[in-house]
Amino acid sequence: MGRRDGGRCRAGEPVRVPTVERFLVTGGARLAGTVEVAGAKNSVLKLMAAALLAEGTTTISNCPEILDVPLMADVLRGLGAEVVIEGDTVVITTPAELSHHADFPAVGRLRASVCVLGPLMGRCRRAEVALPGGDAIGSRPLDMHQSGLRAMGATMNIEHGKVVGRASSLHGASIGLDFPSVGATENILMAAVLADGTTIIDNAAREPEIIDLAQLLAQMGARIDGVGTATITIEGVDPVFMTAPLERLSRAGAQIDTEQDAVTVTMAERPRAVDFITMPYPGFPTDLQPMALALAAVADGHSLITENVFEARFRFVDELIRMGADARTDGHHASLRGREQLSSAPVWSTDIRAGAGLVLAGLAAEGVTEVHEVMHIDRGYPHFVEDLQKLGGQIERVG
Ligand code: EPZ
């Protein structure tokens, strides 16, 4: 986050300029009730990219109504596809001829836009994709995406701020990932379905969104095995994939009841302090780390949170400290001694999940917390304020 008005801020610290639109969160209300869980941002955006792989119409339903979906639609339109968004349904019509240039502003606003790289290399055997934007939670290089495509016969370079790929043909390959990167697994998977021969991805990501993508690709005619494991196999999906977060919540004292398509969480008393370690799936998801920090800030006891996926995802802690949290960070560890109650303060969202974490902290604070830069939250959560209000949360969007 750079300097905006000449004011001085430490590297990585948000520029705390009050935003017109913000949430006012009044703490203390007990939450109770039921909300519908919408489709996942990190799934729908990749399914939209996958639609580029075949000429014709692809319909995706139960899409979350979030800012990132129309942003991704702009990326696909820039490549020549037609995209119609009606409520929670997205209809994509892909033409016979696609442009391979994805170097327009829409790409710079969305990390997921990099997931057109695989489909373009698969369909067009060439791609020019502007380096993506998205949440500043770490350096987020694309070396594994590129080395995977190189192994399939492509030349890949970064030129003039773009990832440039060319291939006379793409062939199957054995690709071992240094880290189970979600984005690299998705791009290699989407390029491989149109390559000659068999591709094996070792140490592949296993996040649920990979399974969603593979299921769409299979519907489109792809033959894929091993999705969901480190060496890809198709498995039926059911709700067990929330195991790590639910296990931590129950360790903190929550009563957890799971049914086929619903989870009920009841926390009767002050949560107990528990440690969290973020890991690739099926470990504790890094995208829930800010919520874990908010829980730890009011839990009974000392918690240690270890972030293993993104090296700059603790910027959020400074905002919690403004709310009176007893917290400190050291490299990829954050340690917190829980307080009975936090105190309200004006705070700034620095990315999607941090914004949501601040609202949760505000719900557990005394007074009215002003959460600024809420557009981050809108990028990732559909009807966030309304769902919390449904549960009895005292929150409103103003400005
Ligand atoms: C996806 O990011 C999600 N974003 C992230 O969610 C999520 O936190 C992350 O996966 C992990 O689950 C989208 O799907 C749009 P990675 P992605 O490739 O694909 C390093 C949110 O809030 N790496 O698994 O970028 C990388 O720097 C967002 O919804 C390389 O070094 O994640 C990171 O440290 C935030 N080289 C780690 O691997 C590469 O070529 C994991 O990155 C690729 C990744």
Tell me how far apart the alpha carbons of residues 374 and 396 are, in angstroms, rounded to a whole number. Answer: 12
- Best residue for ligand 1 mutational test, from 142, 149, 309 (most atoms within 8 Å of Cβ): 309
Which ligand 1 atom minimizes the distance to the CA of 209?
14
Specify the residue with its C-alpha closest to ligand 1, atom 10.
182
Q: Could you give the residue numbers annotated as active site?
A: 135
List the Cα angle 174/178/182 in 5-degree steps: 85
- Give CA–CA dist 72/203, Å, rounded: 28
Task: Verify cis geometry, omega within 30 degrees of 0, for the bond prior to 64.
Answer: no
CA dihedral 334, 339, 343, 349 (to 10 degrees): 20
pLDDT of res. 364: 94
Ligand 1: residues within 6 Å at CB? 41-42, 45, 111-112, 135, 137-145, 179, 181-184, 205, 207, 286-287, 309-310, 352-353, 380
Residue 83, strand partner residues = 92
CA of 140 to the centre of ligand 1 (A): 7
What pLDDT is attached to residue 10?
53
Q: Give the closest residue (by CA) to ligand 1 atom 19.
A: 183
CA-derived radius of gyration, the chain: 21
What is the distance in A from the centroid of ligand 1 to the CA of 97? 30
Output the pTM of the full model.
0.78
pLDDT of res. 117: 97
Instruction: Decide: 177 and 210 in contact? Cβ < 8 Å.
Output: no
CB under 8 Å to 209, separation ≥6 — which residues? 40, 42, 43, 46, 182, 186
Report the chain's terminal Cα–Cα distance, integer Å: 23
Q: Taking Cα atoms as reference points, which of 144, 214, 147, 138 lies closest to residue 180?
A: 144
- CA distances to 31, 40, 114, 254, 362 from 323, rounded to whole Å, are 20, 30, 36, 24, 8
Ligand 1 centroid from CA 184, angstroms: 9
Q: What are phi and psi of 366, to 5 degrees?
A: -85, 130
Report residues of the chain scoring pLDDT below 50: 1-8, 239-240
> What was the pLDDT predicted at 165?
97
What per-residue confidence (pLDDT) applies to 37? Answer: 85
